[in-house]
A and B are shown apart, each in its own frame.
Chain A
């Protein structure tokens, strides 16, 4: 297998013209939409096809997409759809590829998804820092309107759909689906308590579906080729292909589309070309910064699918793969991560608000030379008081890396504490002063 064998999602990646409607149409684009709207597929048929394909949400939680669509109350008549392009998880940069190189694929997938849940208005919520993407996607949406794929009576089917491209203001927490909805509504960008779940009561208190970019981008293929063709890729429970965004000192970092179940070893050696010259693999954070880290020897024997990674003690998450070289100081790395969660916690739940700050300060103190052996127990203790006790999983997202770093790389923490009696290390990352 080689990278070029899998182009369900990534056919136009890296090309300069793939974002244009004409190019997308010439390569079979909007065929799935015609199939649904002109060949008269029913909403149920679309939902069943997606369910049958085993597509799982690509935003991180991996919840089956078709099943989620089924949660919309059948008698609802005002339904909203949000495409989540907030992509702010450190290490994750796949959705921006999809929107940058191939916006029409996501737009087509969104229109079909909206049809399946009977939504009349869709938002594409784009991370605030992705300014250029907003323009690119807006242009593509304008093209789609002009071509009759959006607006009133799409393709003569009687189905109406409006689409709004919305630019976020740059908060990680607005990627959480209820935080996203709140921020679009003009409220403080922070998650709401569940239940009610958005599929029942979301935007303007109406049923609302939130899906990741990659999830909806997978829909046209499933409609065109059928659930069976989709399931031909991947494993029994982890179906289809998945984008991984790989960063770190490997020979060929970037965004890859892989069939789920691909052994990491093969991916690492053959696709990524192994480590860059002079670097040695130390560990991998496989699914975005919020999942537990795996040391080299553990990840090397793991396959890249939901179940295998779960068994290995981590998660597939968003597919934001951070490759960590031997030369990396793990305490410094966790300081970067803990600062991130401390900075991004919305602050409404006590354990997360106080816990992220506490973790950040302890780690900063360690790095600043003021650590004691008891601090490591204190870190564990703070993690205990956060995990599973909050409204949204951001608290767990901070706890999982923290705990796994302590668990897998404790000697580095202990060594630092011992050394610091002698001399405080100088940070290559002097952000501690910024808060």
Chain B
């Protein structure tokens, strides 16, 4: 341990702690900074994080310094504040200050520092600034405004160190230095939007989000990306029932501070034209009350031949489906299609398994089947086929087997399955419900509901609970909380109602 005095406050830090982090802890807020990023190498170029270390002849940048026992550090004295002010002023010399039309406004490092250091009467001259290119499309997702760039090199280091694709570079030198992509390339790696997140100013912006919304109007809800088995933690930014963007939320056990571009776009599915927004009775849009009669018949005790879950549904939804099937005396269960939702993974984050909850099926002992086997089981089943989530009939074998069967589908999107079903019940998309996904590590990750459901769609777990009640369960769980209690109990899981922020991986063979 090293005893360090920061702004008069003596604190202990582990050997090897970065002074930058020690200062953040002592001050309760980070030092001003643009270039330092805990997940990238240290560049030490913005020079904003300078502090005074007693005994050193000059100010020192905290991001490239480690604590030493006995260190006495000043982060707020006049000398340090003056240096920070001066450097900030340097940053503004050639900055266009076009905040009114900049997407970053409101979450801009430069704006924030500017306010903190009150540079209202700075000596910055406006007359002969260096002009650079604005609004240049540099890849499928990202747009670049070179004038706004503060040359912190974060995006360059990201592309060198994380994706190892090296598209970005700082070209030319002195105050002609400018950020850009290497000639003949574009910023087209599958993680490119992370550069937008780490860009401290509005130089790199998302083409998807561009001019959509002022950031201060957005509400944020934590979530878990449903794009693949990795289960990156995300922040869902939304307003009035619409999602505007997903941003990664740090979880060092899962995704660090990053997420992939494909995952960022999964929100579009939620607002898809194909969303099921109302119950369908033999293809006709109807009210919930209008399906009751058919459901009573199709889901009567002993009338269900096979219930099929989904790796896209939450742990609670699959659990309730299983419970319902058991209550209805259904002969057979399946976890769904083993081969659905497969893609190509990489060694950064993306998993080849594009479903968010396949390991959740394992917990419930719901085995998946390939299309031919599933079709066979459907063919052999006598009675209603109850399908939850996804679009199993997208597989031709399954679609063929479902022909002529009584089918009830609880789902979110129109497709082959919904087209075949006698009764379609519109459920909640991932952002419209609370739930738990189990990622590829076996990590249980819970998430709250972010936005309201469209039109007549309902929370899927409620739909299933209602069927449980209809099937005669005495005290069906009245809340998701109770569902989780039942689940926890039935499968020896950690308490799903109070999972730690990083999620929880149960020890093999039982609760941890």
Contacts and interface: CB of A to CB of B under 8 A. Distances in A.
A342 B172 CA distance: 12
A385 B93 CA distance: 12
B150 interface: yes
A388 B58 contact: yes
**Residue among A173, A348, A351 having the largest count of chain B Cβ atoms under 10 Å:** A348
A432 to B, nearest CB: 12
B86 interface: yes
Contacts of A279: none
Contact of A349 (B42, B45, B86): B45
Given A345-B173, A347-B170, A390 B47 contact: yes
**Residue among B151, B169, B175 having the largest count of chain A Cβ atoms under 10 Å:** B175
B105 to A, nearest CB: 21
Interface string A351-381: 1011111100100000000000000001001
A389 B93 contact: no
Interface in A313-370: 342-351, 353-358, 361
Given A378-B123, A385-B87, A388-B58, A356 B174 contact: yes
B230 interface: no
Interface string A380-407: 0100110011110000000000000000
B87 A193 contact: no
Contacts of A355: 90
Contacts of A188: 169-170
Contacts of B44: 193, 391
Contacts of B176: 347, 435
Contacts of B86: 351, 384-385, 389
Interface in A78-98: none
Nearest to A395: B47
Interface in B55-72: 58-59, 64
Given A193-B43, A351-B90, A346 B83 contact: no
B346 interface: no
Contacts of B177: 346-348, 353
Nearest to A391: B44
B46 interface: yes
B277 interface: no
Nearest to B45: A348
Contact of A357 (B47, B87, B93): B93
Given A193-B64, A388-B58, A389-B59, A350 B151 contact: yes
A348 B172 contact: no
A218 interface: no
A347 B43 contact: no
A391 B64 CA distance: 11
Contacts of B153: 348
A190 interface: yes
A353 B153 CA distance: 14
Contact of A353 (B48, B123, B128, B174): B174
Contacts of B173: 171, 173, 190, 344-347
B341 interface: no
B160 to A, nearest CB: 10
A351 B89 CA distance: 9
Contacts of A391: 44-45
B91 interface: yes
A385 B42 CA distance: 22
B174 A389 contact: no
B123 A381 contact: yes
A195 interface: yes
A350 B47 contact: yes
B87 A342 contact: no
A378 B170 CA distance: 29
B93 A348 contact: no
B255 interface: no
Contacts of B93: 354, 357-358
Contacts of B58: 388-389
Contacts of B64: 193, 195
Given A190-B173, A347-B172, A348-B153, A354 B91 contact: yes
Contacts of B285: none
B50 interface: yes
Given A195-B64, A389-B83, A350 B91 contact: yes
B287 interface: no
Contacts of B42: 193
Contacts of B1: none
A389 B47 contact: yes
Contacts of B170: 188, 347-348
B130 interface: yes
Nearest to A370: B127
A357 B174 contact: yes
Given A193-B42, A350-B46, A388 B59 contact: yes
Contacts of B169: 188
Contacts of B91: 350, 354
B94 interface: yes
Nearest to A378: B123
Interface residues of B, number: 33
Given A354-B94, A357-B130, A390-B47, A347 B151 contact: yes
A354 B90 contact: yes
A381 B90 CA distance: 11
Nearest to A356: B174
A361 B90 CA distance: 14
A385 B174 contact: no
A350 B34 CA distance: 11
A389 B176 CA distance: 20
Interface string B169-191: 11011111100000000000000
Contacts of B47: 349-351, 389-390
B151 A348 contact: yes
A342 to B, nearest CB: 6
Interface string A70-81: 000000000000
A353 B151 contact: yes
B45 A345 contact: no
A353 B175 contact: yes
Contact of B87 (A347, A381, A389): A389
B123 A342 contact: no
Contacts of B94: 354, 357
Contacts of B130: 357
A92 to B, nearest CB: 21
Interface string A18-47: 000000000000000000000000000000
A173 B174 CA distance: 11
Contact of A354 (B59, B123, B175): B175
A150 B86 CA distance: 52
Nearest to A389: B47
Contacts of A346: 173-174, 177
Given A345-B174, A357-B174, A350 B90 contact: yes
A390 B175 CA distance: 15
A277 to B, nearest CB: 40
Interface string B23-50: 0000000000000000000111111101
Interface string A120-140: 000000000000000000000
Contacts of A354: 90-91, 93-94, 175
A348 B123 contact: no
B6 to A, nearest CB: 21
B404 to A, nearest CB: 68
Interface in A151-186: 171, 173
B268 to A, nearest CB: 38
Given A355-B90, A384-B86, A389-B50, A348 B43 contact: yes
Contact of B128 (A347, A361, A388, A390): A361
Given A342-B175, A350-B90, A389-B86, 10 more contacts: A171-B173, A347-B173, A350-B47, A350-B87, A353-B151, A354-B90, A356-B174, A388-B59, A389-B50, A389-B59
Shortest beta-carbon contacts, A-B, top 6: A385-B86, A347-B177, A357-B175, A193-B44, A354-B90, A345-B174
10 contacts: A342-B175, A344-B174, A346-B173, A347-B176, A350-B47, A350-B150, A351-B86, A354-B90, A357-B93, A385-B89
